[in-house]
Amino acid sequence: MLDLSLKEIQSKLVTDFERGLNSKQHQQRLKKDGENILQKTHSISPISIFLSQFKDAMVLVLLMATLISGILGEIYDGITIVIIIMLNAVLGFIQEYKAEKSLQALSKLTAPKTKVIRDGKTVNVDTKELVVGDIVLLSSGDKVPADLRIIEEYSLEVDESALTGESVPVVKDATKMVDGINIADAVNSCFKGTSVTKGRGKGVVVATGMDTAMGQIADMIQTAGNEPTPLQIRLAQLGKILVTICLIVSVLVVLVGIWRGEDIYKMFLAGVSLAVAAIPEGLPAIVTVCLAIGVQRMLRRRAIVRKLPAVETLGCATVVCSDKTGTLTQNKMTVEKVYFDNSNIEVTGNGYEPRGQLFLKNQTVSTENKILEKLMEIAVLCNNATLHKKEIPIKGMFRKGKDNWSIDGDPTEGALLVLGAKTGWWKEKLLTNYKIFKEFPFDSSRKMMSVVVDKGASKFTLTKGAPDIVLDKCTKILEKGIEQPLTESKKETIKRVIEDYGKEGYRNIALSYNTYTNDYSVESNMIFVGVCAISDPPRPEVFSAVEKCKRAGIKTVMITGDHKDTATAIARQLKILPEYGKVLTGIDMSSMSFEELKEVVDEVYVYARVLPEHKLKIVKALKAIGHTVAMTGDGINDGPAIKEADIGIAMGITGTEVTKEAASLILTDDNFATIVEAVEEGRSIYDNIRKFIRFLLSCNIGEIMTMLLAMLMGLPLPLKPIQILWVNLATDGLPAMALGLEKAEKGIMERKPRGKNESIFSRGLDFKIFSRGMLIGFITLTMFIIGYRKSMGDIEFARTMAFATLICAQLFHVFDCKSEDKSIFEINIFSNLYLVFAVLSSSVLMLIVIYLPSLQGVFSTKPLELTDWLWIVCIVCIPYAIQMIKLILLFVFKPKAVTTK
Ligand code: ATP
């Protein structure tokens, strides 16, 4: 279709370039051609998740044990082991399936959107719903959603490297006809999967899904899966090491036993028991579940996790670099002051309602003023926003609200439209006299925008942009209705006005024009008209969020394209910029070497008038001095910096598709406070992972110690493999899961961030795990010996004592794991009801196994008496008695410490 004219395409595709398809046509085509997707994204099937449960090392050990038990005639043992394996697999499956589902639901949330014209209205739709004939609107940062023939374009440039490998963006031209089918030459078309780097455009969809150029090479495209997090990788490695060690130890124990003349089957049983005891089989599944729960919690706090590692890394963030406009501020813009013809005018009215007046020293300014007229022309015509009455639901119907005005498009431009409307200059009215026939779009590198308009016989360029940039392009000024030379002293006066506005926190836009001759001279020798000062108040919630960051040892840095004075004023208001803090501008940065930037980067709190490439330099410098950096971005050029940052954050509302794709986190509300909440959530998730690792590993060590010590002492096995399996299944799993649901501990945002490469076992966790594991093993063995003596050698009774002690010790210990630095007496043990419920159900399961006659045979248990339970509870409480004594001592001696101070 590349070689057809637009007219031919319009009739061939039965569409309307102005109004787009209607809903009926769209539905019919969608039904006929299918969704606009390259291939069904492959999702893991429930069956493969279930089968993966049997790949586990422990399961293999157990299956082998079952086989050998069967060969040795112990069918009963074999069947029970198989049942437990199955139960374990079902539990593992439920956990992983849920985790997988919630991650899949997440990818739906980040599904790309496209702006199309349907039924004559501009709407944002899911990209996969596009059909041939749809009219698509493209702008900088968009991913081209399907193969398009361009209808109109304004400085449209597209990066087609994904398709052609050529990294230089291609300049598109709707008017060019091409005769071949070579993609690289097709300047009148855009292709699915490429990205718009500059400008705007409108195109008609000519191919979707697998029919697109990208579809034809779809097999070659790698779809990124869910990457494992660094912690998951490290835990998988740890798991392998533990499995190897415990298998070696088990084999050694078996061999030594046989060598000592023990029964082969008994020793084999001992070896299997030890292996079963040692392998932390639940760990990887619970980590996955915990991360998935974290992802859900973040979503509730309006942060979408795109890459799972971000959940972990967020807790390490030491610097959050944030955009100003819309993230730290509300993006609700109002022009409050206008400067033209040496006069400082105040504008009244609030929000987007076009009601307000202009005052000069308390006197109303007449709108019949030539310069004001020119100013409004530029403000309103060099503008892509639209101002309209918002449709609000009234009695179930959508009606246009009376005073409910809103804008579509860039809020800065919206504010200028409202200013125009306040003085009677509506875009629709102006367009009856003017025709816009060219546009040089705004982008954050140029920091200005121009349109070329046709008014009768003359053509003008109307330009608006950052005042420092626009002023540099001006040689004349409009004063008293006449074009005068813009002398240095006049420039100085204007600069002072801009500086004053900036210091008051206003975002400034300068307006200028000239007569259009050709494209090369559009933005030179311009005539300066005036400046609009736009207020954009800080978001109220950001004040406390910045404060929270400070307490949490996280530095907040503002990076903005806005002027230094405006940025400084807002940063001071938000207390981001301390007295001693430095402000750097893009120009300062350009003259600095990387080494020089590294020297000062820790003292800089505000970067103003930066270009997108400066962001990358800032991230690199911060990382080079050891920071873990979270960086926000919205424009297409922010991609590299976002990728380079440890946590790349894209804006959900204003962010471009390309930026979202590069990011690991998307803020659905573009709000800085949400980043801080996500950091808090990240810290809490990591804490929870440490909590259940502490619990699970100390339980495992407890089990190993029980078995190993007994063997070294030449005692009979204190626990049968089935009993250990039961403990691992019914006692460890549930409470560990519940620990993953703990709420954030108080004061979580009062601690310093943890190091990025910090081991999960740091801050004394290894010691805690090992010492408590030893203690659990020791007391279990002690109760085994006591039970053995008391029952005069009844091995089943003694094992039941050991079994009950082990479970009780673990169920008590789970409450210790709720906090890293507080004892069980200083926390509310009922704060997590899931945990209370898990402990209760594990206790009931234990009692069933001990007292239900039909299970006593299976698990070789004997009923215990009240005195036995008293013994068990007493011994299990020893560590808590020690904790209590410590607390009392601390309480008694603390006042003394204070008085000596
Ligand atoms: P952030 O803080 O998110 O970086 P910003 O809006 O301050 O955003 P840019 O969007 O790069 O940064 O804008 C830089 C400057 O360009 C603004 O200070 C303003 O003077 C000018 N400007 C902003 N939007 C427009 C626009 N639509 N047309 C012309 N000039 C604009």
Q: Tell whether the model's pLDDT for residue 344 goes beyond 50.
A: yes
Asked, for residue 43, whether it belongs to a domain, the answer is no
Rounded to the nearest whole angstrom, what is the distance from the C-alpha of residue 445 to the centroid of ligand 1? 9
| 257 touches 267 (CB < 8 A) | yes
The CA distance from 32 to 208, in Å, is 12
Q: Tell whether the model's pLDDT for residue 78 goes beyond 60.
A: yes
**What is the pLDDT confidence band of residue 237, given thresholds at 50, 70 and 90?**
confident
Evaluate: CB of 440 within 6 angstroms of ligand 1: no
Please state whether 563 falls in left (phi above 0), alpha (psi between -120 and 50) or beta: beta
- What is the crossing angle of helices 264-278 and 230-259, to 10°? 160
The CA distance from 255 to 250, in Å, is 9
My answer on whether 422 and 470 are in the same domain is: yes
**C-alpha 11: how far from its chain's center?**
45
User: How many CB atoms lie under 10 A from the CB of residue 881?
Assistant: 10
Rounded to the nearest whole angstrom, what is the distance from the C-alpha of residue 447 to the centroid of ligand 1? 6
Secondary structure in 3-state letters for 161-210: HHHHCCCCCEECCCCCCCCCCCHHHCCCEECCCCEEEEEEEEEEEEECHH
User: How many CB atoms lie under 10 A from the CB of residue 778?
Assistant: 17
Question: Can you tell me which atom of ligand 1 is nearest the CA of 328?
Answer: 2
Which tops the pLDDT comparison, 823 or 677? Answer: 677
Catalytic residue among 142, 323, 588, 687: 323
User: 387-423, pLDDT tens digit by residue?
Assistant: 888 765 555 555 555 557 888 888 999 999 999 999 8
Q: Tell whether the model's pLDDT for residue 218 goes beyond 90.
A: no
Quickly list DSSP for 513-524. EEE---GGGTTS
My answer on whether 782 and 853 are in the same domain is: yes
Rounded to the nearest whole angstrom, what is the distance from the C-alpha of residue 448 to the centroid of ligand 1? 8
| pLDDT at res. 846 | 94
Q: Which residues contact 391 (CB under 8 A, 6 or more apart)?
A: 398, 399, 400, 401
| pLDDT at res. 837 | 95
| 392 touches 402 (CB < 8 A) | no
User: 583-612, pLDDT tens digit by residue?
Assistant: 999 999 999 999 999 999 999 999 999 987
Greatest mean pLDDT among 138-142, 208-212, 509-513, 897-901 lies in 509-513
Q: Is 665 helix (H, G, I), strand (E, B) or coil?
A: strand
| pLDDT at res. 572 | 95
Each as own residue / partner, the long-range contacts of residues 343-351 (CB below 8 Å, 24 or more positions apart, any chain) are 344/497, 347/419, 347/422, 349/418, 349/422, 351/405
Structure tokens at 655: 């962010």
Give the rounded percent of residues in the chain with a pLDDT score beyond 70: 90
Evaluate: CB of 442 within 6 angstroms of ligand 1: yes
With CA atoms as reference, report the closest residue to 828 among 734, 741, 746, 736: 746
Q: Is 823 helix (H, G, I), strand (E, B) or coil?
A: coil
My answer on whether 509 and 562 are in the same domain is: no
Q: Tell whether the model's pLDDT for residue 243 goes beyond 80.
A: no
Asked, for residue 67, whether it belongs to a domain, the answer is no
My answer on whether 829 and 863 are in the same domain is: yes
Question: Can you tell me which atom of ligand 1 is nearest the CA of 329?
Answer: 2
Which tops the pLDDT comparison, 100 or 425? Answer: 425
**How far apart, in Å, are the Cα atoms of 518 and each of 231, 431, 443, 464?**
59, 22, 21, 18
Q: Which residues contact 265 (CB under 8 A, 6 or more apart)?
A: 72, 74
According to DSSP, the residues that pair with 530 across neighbouring strands are 340, 511
Rounded to the nearest whole angstrom, what is the distance from the C-alpha of residue 444 to the centroid of ligand 1? 6
Evaluate: CB of 280 within 6 angstroms of ligand 1: no
According to DSSP, the residues that pair with 171 across neighbouring strands are 157
| pLDDT at res. 220 | 47
Number of domains the chain is built from: 4
Evaluate: CB of 561 within 6 angstroms of ligand 1: yes
User: How many CB atoms lie under 10 A from the CB of residue 732?
Assistant: 26
Mean pLDDT of all residues in 850-861: 90
User: 456-504, pLDDT tens digit by residue?
Assistant: 888 999 999 999 999 999 999 999 889 999 999 999 999 999 999 999 9
Q: What are the phi and psi torsion angles at 535 (to 5°)? A: -90, 145
| pLDDT at res. 865 | 92
Q: Which residues contact 196 (CB under 8 A, 6 or more apart)?
A: 138, 139, 140, 141, 142, 143, 144, 156, 157, 158, 159, 190, 636
According to DSSP, the residues that pair with 305 across neighbouring strands are 665
With CA atoms as reference, report the closest residue to 461 among 347, 408, 382: 382
- Per residue in 131-149, is it b (16+ CB within 10 Å) or e — as a string? bbbbbbbbbbbbbbbbbbb
My answer on whether 568 and 603 are in the same domain is: yes
My answer on whether 569 and 630 are in the same domain is: yes
Evaluate: CB of 465 within 6 angstroms of ligand 1: yes
Asked, for residue 233, whether it belongs to a domain, the answer is no
Asked, for residue 223, whether it belongs to a domain, the answer is no
My answer on whether 689 and 775 are in the same domain is: yes
Rounded to the nearest whole angstrom, what is the distance from the C-alpha of residue 511 to the centroid of ligand 1? 14
The CA distance from 578 to 555, in Å, is 11
The CA distance from 132 to 393, in Å, is 33
Side chain identity at residue 158, one-letter code:
V
Rounded to the nearest whole angstrom, what is the distance from the C-alpha of residue 461 to the centroid of ligand 1? 20
My answer on whether 349 and 476 are in the same domain is: yes
The CATH number covering residue 156 comes to 2.70.150.10
Asked, for residue 624, whether it belongs to a domain, the answer is yes
Mean pLDDT of all residues in 311-317: 89
Q: Tell whether the model's pLDDT for residue 51 goes beyond 60.
A: yes
With CA atoms as reference, report the closest residue to 802 among 706, 714, 729, 713: 706
Asked, for residue 781, whether it belongs to a domain, the answer is yes
The CA distance from 781 to 771, in Å, is 15
Give the rounded percent of residues in the chain with a pLDDT score beyond 90: 45
| pLDDT at res. 403 | 58
My answer on whether 280 and 347 are in the same domain is: no
**What is the pLDDT confidence band of residue 822, given thresholds at 50, 70 and 90?**
confident
Evaluate: CB of 52 within 6 angstroms of ligand 1: no
- The β-bridge relationship of strands 474-479 and 458-465 is unpaired
My answer on whether 255 and 283 are in the same domain is: yes
**What is the pLDDT confidence band of residue 199, given thresholds at 50, 70 and 90?**
confident
The CATH number covering residue 360 comes to 3.40.1110.10
The CA distance from 199 to 439, in Å, is 9
- Per residue in 517-551, is it b (16+ CB within 10 Å) or e — as a string? eeeeebbeebbbbbbbbbbbebbeebeebbebbee
Rounded to the nearest whole angstrom, what is the distance from the C-alpha of residue 412 to the centroid of ligand 1? 8
| 470 touches 514 (CB < 8 A) | no
| 444 touches 638 (CB < 8 A) | no
| 764 touches 563 (CB < 8 A) | no
Evaluate: CB of 636 within 6 angstroms of ligand 1: no
The CATH number covering residue 661 comes to 3.40.50.1000
Q: Is 391 helix (H, G, I), strand (E, B) or coil?
A: strand
Q: Determine whether 323 is an active site residue.
A: yes
Domain with 841 in it: 247-297+684-742+762-892
User: 263-308, pLDDT tens digit by residue?
Assistant: 887 777 777 777 776 667 667 777 877 888 888 888 888 998 888 7
Q: For ligand 1, pick from 440, 509, 606 the residue to mutate: most ligand atoms within 8 Å of CB.
A: 509
| pLDDT at res. 396 | 52
Evaluate: CB of 449 within 6 angstroms of ligand 1: yes
Asked, for residue 693, whether it belongs to a domain, the answer is yes
The CATH number covering residue 724 comes to 1.20.1110.10
**What is the pLDDT confidence band of residue 768, given thresholds at 50, 70 and 90?**
very high
Through-space distance between the first and last CA atoms of the chain, rounded to whole angstroms = 86
Asked, for residue 189, whether it belongs to a domain, the answer is yes
Q: Which residues contact 206 (CB under 8 A, 6 or more apart)?
A: 1, 9, 13, 132, 146, 147, 148, 149, 189
Indicate the residue among 490, 509, 535 that finishes a domain.
535
My answer on whether 444 and 478 are in the same domain is: yes
User: 641-672, pLDDT tens digit by residue?
Assistant: 998 999 999 998 888 888 888 898 999 899 99
- Per residue in 693-729, is it b (16+ CB within 10 Å) or e — as a string? bbbbbbbbbbbbbbbbbbbeeeeebbbbbbbbbbbbb
Question: Can you tell me which atom of ligand 1 is nearest the CA of 326?
Answer: 3
Indicate the residue among 193, 215, 237 that finishes a domain.
215
| 127 touches 145 (CB < 8 A) | yes
| pLDDT at res. 222 | 40
The CA distance from 861 to 408, in Å, is 73
**How far apart, in Å, are the Cα atoms of 760 and each of 695, 774, 891?**
13, 20, 32
Structure tokens at 830: 């009922």
Helices (H), 301-440: 309-314, 370-381, 411-422, 427-430
Mean pLDDT of all residues in 301-326: 89
DSSP state of 679: H
Please name the residue whose Cα sits nearest to atom 4 of ligand 1: 560
Evaluate: CB of 410 within 6 angstroms of ligand 1: yes
**What is the pLDDT confidence band of residue 69, given thresholds at 50, 70 and 90?**
low
Mean pLDDT of all residues in 297-324: 89
Indicate the residue among 670, 694, 717 that finishes a domain.
670
Q: Which residues contact 484 (CB under 8 A, 6 or more apart)?
A: 476, 477, 478, 490
My answer on whether 311 and 292 are in the same domain is: no
User: Which segments of 456-560 are extended strands (E)?
Assistant: 458-465, 474-479, 482-485, 507-515, 526-535, 555-559
**How far apart, in Å, are the Cα atoms of 682 and each of 308, 310, 646, 754?**
11, 8, 13, 11
Question: Can you tell me which atom of ligand 1 is nearest the CA of 382?
Answer: 28
